[in-house]
Amino acid sequence: MSIRTDNLIWRIGRKTILDGVTFQVKPNAMLGLLGPNGSGKTSLLRLLAGLKQPHSGHVMLDRTDLKSISRRDIARRVAFVEQHAATNSNLRVVDVVKLGRFPHRSMFSGWTPDDQQAIEYALERVGMEDKRTERWQSLSGGEKQRAHIARALAQSPKELLLDEPTNHLDVQHQIGLLRLIASLPVTSVIALHDLNHAAMFCDELIVLSQGRIVAAGTPEDVLTEPLLKDVFRIESRVETSPYHGRPHIHYLR
Amino acid sequence: MTASRHLAGQLFVLGALLLASLAAIGVVVGISVGIGDLPIPLATTLSAVTNRLGWTTAELNRIHETVIWDYRLSRALVAAFCGAGLALSGAILQSLLRNPLAEPYVLGISAGASTGAVAIVILGVGSGVLSLSAGAFAGAFAAFLFVALLSNGTRGGADRTILAGVAASQLFNAATSYIVTTSGNAQQARDVMFWLLGSFGGVRWPEFTLVSVIVGLGLIACLFYARVLDAFAFGDEAAAALGVNVGGARAALFALTAMMTATIVSMVGSIGFVGLVVPHAARFVVGPLHSRLLPACAIAGAIFMVMADIASRILIPKQVLPIGVVTALVGVPFFSVILYRIQRPS
């Protein structure tokens, strides 16, 4: 197993945000994290990235507890693409991607051919090679998001965590980004709002509601009419798409 | 092959830039030494320095030599180091707090220093044992601790630190005003106010030794943190996700800026605007990466402060303006131009 969690509980003050979350992700699979606003998707990703400590339970990377791994060692294998990562400094795209090499470099080490190779690969993978010298403030939303993913790839991660990466993107860029993530040779956990996108691209899905997992499994198993009514309070019809063979959801008013 | 040649080329450019900027600092320091009631040519200053270093044995006017060594050279060099230290502190705080308005005094450090100074001068707390500078230093560190406690140590976010700094400034400024207004002695109050606005008048070689060591070590320490500061570009959480020990780095960098600022304020009073304006100007020229930005800030800050000191002595004949007045008068128009020319972020 790549990432495994065991009965995670996390609170803010007295409010329980995550309540006994247990799941696992197969290596190189793409796991979609679904759920209404405030269901705990972002919090779960933060715990998986080791940015917050669970009040009880464990996050395991392979067979090691995340708690016993140093910040820098976590960053060498787990990359996190935040939902709102803005900056007021006007870095070039290549400088942002270079940040991904931070955990691999010591305070004194110079820029190595390995580092250069990693950022070239990352830039190529997201199709930003010819934008490398452009300034951050001149990029469009889609380009910023792709640059963030390139930065994450430059970390040479085994696990990639993404918090609603398709927010604010037009439909072309949403599909392009999800296809990119699905094609990467990494384990990814991705919080999504668009159920049809999740059905099309994810290998497995988890549905969170009020901090608990209410459904888990393949898109076919998870995305059912009763569950959608239960969790998202919508009337819908789910059918198998004649075009891509995955479930497709029709919303009925 | 091409990579190593490229690297060698970069090193050459870097060395040339460093030499050129050191020469520029040397020239403004020389000009600063030359200006005053007794004008001294640049060549005389140069000979005096090389004489003292034992490189040359030129015949010099003894009065010139005394004026250079005992008054003006130490003053100009202290000004250079103070400018470098304030600009560095400003650059670090702007990056760490991710706020373009941050500067050394946002943490209330100068307000604390002022309170410490007036407590000694007017109330006579510990006078005899503590000098005005020591009082200012103690006050500055008290303010730093106050902000650290109020912003919940290093765990509070950038916004909390800024709010705590504003609160500290208000509190310590109020305490200073209270002490000054309730004291009966108008002359003392006037002296303190003058000191608060900043002056290089009294500084000599002991001050130079202290400030050069503190700012020199500060610059080296900051350069070690250059990459860490880059990693803060997208915020604390993004830095942590890149493997930065956020709490430790913040604590170390805040302590560093507090140390430099407290030393400078206790020596020459609170000189505003340098820490705000110089980092923005430097960023405009060399870009936001800290391995270049920090040295550029140190150099530009040094040159700016020496020039401000020159201006403070020649703007009004027979009178020295407080340096804080000059930095603001020179700095604001300069800053306006930069502000106007910077592209609006989308």
B32 located within any domain: no
Q: Which class does domain A3-251 fall in? A: alpha beta
pTM of the model: 0.88
Rounded CA separation B250/A129 (Å): 34
B276 in any annotated domain: yes
**Better pLDDT: B328 or A181:** A181
In a domain, B101, yes or no: yes
Domain count for chain B, please give it: 1
| CA–CA dist A244, A228 (Å, integer) | 21
CB contact under 8 A, B241 and A72: no
Q: What span, in angstroms and rounded, lies between the C-alpha atoms of B31 and B35?
A: 6
Closest among B31, B42, B43 to B310, alpha carbons compared? B31
pLDDT at residue B229, as a whole number: 94
Tell if the CB–CB gap between B224 and A107 is shorter than 8 Å.
Answer: yes
Inter-chain residue contact B345 with A90, CB threshold 8 Å? yes
Contact A85 B345 (CB under 8 A): no
Task: Give the three-state DSSP class for B173.
Answer: helix
The whole-number mean pLDDT for each consecutive block of 10 residues of chain B, a chain of 346 residues, reads 63 86 91 85 86 81 83 92 95 88 80 84 67 81 85 68 87 88 76 76 86 94 93 91 91 88 85 88 90 94 92 84 84 78 54
Question: Contact, A152 vs A100, CB < 8 A?
Answer: yes
From the list B231, B235, B288, which residue is nearest A102 (CB)?
A: B231
| Predicted complex ipTM | 0.89
Q: How much of chain A, in percent, has pLDDT values that exceed 70?
A: 100
Query: Which of A71, A79, A96 minimises the CB distance to B245?
Result: A71
CB contact under 8 A, B243 and A102: yes
User: Averaged over A47-56, what is the pLDDT?
Assistant: 93
> Mean pLDDT throughout A38-54?
93
pLDDT of residue B7: 66
Chain A contact for B345 (CB, 8 A cutoff): yes
Tokens (6 digits) for A157 = 């991660």
Longest dimension (CA), chain B: 75
Length of chain B: 346
CATH of the domain at B103: 1.10.3470.10
- Residue B58 located in a structural domain: no
Q: In the prediction, which pLDDT does B206 show?
A: 86
Residue of chain B whose alpha carbon sits nearest to that of A137 = B345
CB A139 within 8 Å of CB A111: no
Nearest-neighbour CA in chain B from A128: distance (Å): 19
Q: Chain A within 8 Å of B65 (Cβ-Cβ)?
A: no
CB A153 within 8 A of CB A180: no
* CB-CB neighbours of A89 under 10 Å: 24
Q: At A115, which helix (H) or strand (E)? A: helix A113-125
Residues of B in contact with A88 (CB under 8 A): 98, 100, 345
Q: Nearest CA to CA, how far is B159 from chain A (Å)? A: 15
- Nearest residue in A to B231, CA atom: A99
> pLDDT value at position B127?
61
For residue B121, the enclosing domain spans 80-343
- Token look-up 């993107």 returns A169
